[in-house]
């Protein structure tokens, strides 16, 4: 399926939603809830919050359906809404830090910390698991603005222009954030880069 096909479907569903056919929201959710949840999981590093904000994002889509500009990419608009909600959530969380009675969650496996098993020797699997944990920790340790850029451009495979629209920044600012993030990641992951 080409990129034009989902875009055309999104445009048609948004036109139906604006016209009062609420069922069109279901089709949009079926196509975009997985990628949106993945983006929010990577950005927030909290599955529960990502799930809540993914739902809230679609609530906002419905509430602001009249604001959607036909001809623009729906996924960019959706990720912009989701990204704004995530940033607001992080700001609120930083003002009200939570202390869990169950620990910090680092040792508790979750969707964001679990990767599918792969074949290979136990030593290879252990090294791969350590490397993946190091990459996750390095990405998680980036400042929010740099992490957003890396998640959108590297993990979500969005273009710099689309990431700029989602982040409300210029393409040059996103490129700068990517450059700084990659530099920090190279420093933090030097051990793994030297091994490969």
Better pLDDT: 108 or 35: 35
Q: Are 161 and 171 in contact (CB under 8 A)?
A: yes
Per-range mean pLDDT, top range of 110-114, 115-119, 149-153: 149-153
Q: Given this model, what pLDDT does residue 48 score?
A: 92
Query: Is the predicted pLDDT of residue 173 greater than 70, yes or no?
Result: yes
**Closest alpha carbon to 38 in 155, 142, 175:** 155
Q: Work out the average pLDDT over 158-162.
A: 90
Q: Is 30 left (phi over 0), alpha (psi -120 to 50) or beta?
A: alpha
- List the one residue out of 67, 74, 42, 51 whose CA is nearest residue 142: 42
Among 65, 93, 95, 70, CA closest to 81: 65
Per the prediction, the chain carries an average pLDDT of: 82
- In this prediction, residue 189 carries a pLDDT of 83
Percent of the chain with pLDDT over 90: 41
Mean pLDDT of 72-79: 92
Average pLDDT, integer, range 146-156: 88
pTM for this model (two decimals):
0.64
Range of 58-62, 111-115, 187-191 with top mean pLDDT: 58-62
- Which is higher by pLDDT, 1 or 171? 171
- Residue pair 167/152 in contact (Cβ under 8 Å)? The answer is yes
Determine contact, residues 65/50, Cβ cutoff 8 Å: no
């Amino acid at each position: 399926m080409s990129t034009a096909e989902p875009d055309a479907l999104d445009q048609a569903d948004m036109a139906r939603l604006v016209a009062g056919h609420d069922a069109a929201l279901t089709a949009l959710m079926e196509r975009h809830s997985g990628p949106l949840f993945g983006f929010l999981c990577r950005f927030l590093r909290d599955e529960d919050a990502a799930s809540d904000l993914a739902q809230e994002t679609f609530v906002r889509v419905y509430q602001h359906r009249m604001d959607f500009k036909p001809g623009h990419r729906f996924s960019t608009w959706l990720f912009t809404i989701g990204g704004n909600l995530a940033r607001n959530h992080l700001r609120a969380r930083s003002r009200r830090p939570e202390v869990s009675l169950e620990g910090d969650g680092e040792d508790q496996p979750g969707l964001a910390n679990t990767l599918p098993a792969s074949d290979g020797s136990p030593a290879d699997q252990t090294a791969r698991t350590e490397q993946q944990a190091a990459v996750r920790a390095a990405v998680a340790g980036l400042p929010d603005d740099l992490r957003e850029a890396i998640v959108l451009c590297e993990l979500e495979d969005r273009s710099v222009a689309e990431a700029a629209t989602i982040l409300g920044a210029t393409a040059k600012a996103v490129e700068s954030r990517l450059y700084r993030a990659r530099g920090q990641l190279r420093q933090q992951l030097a051990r793994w880069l030297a091994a490969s």
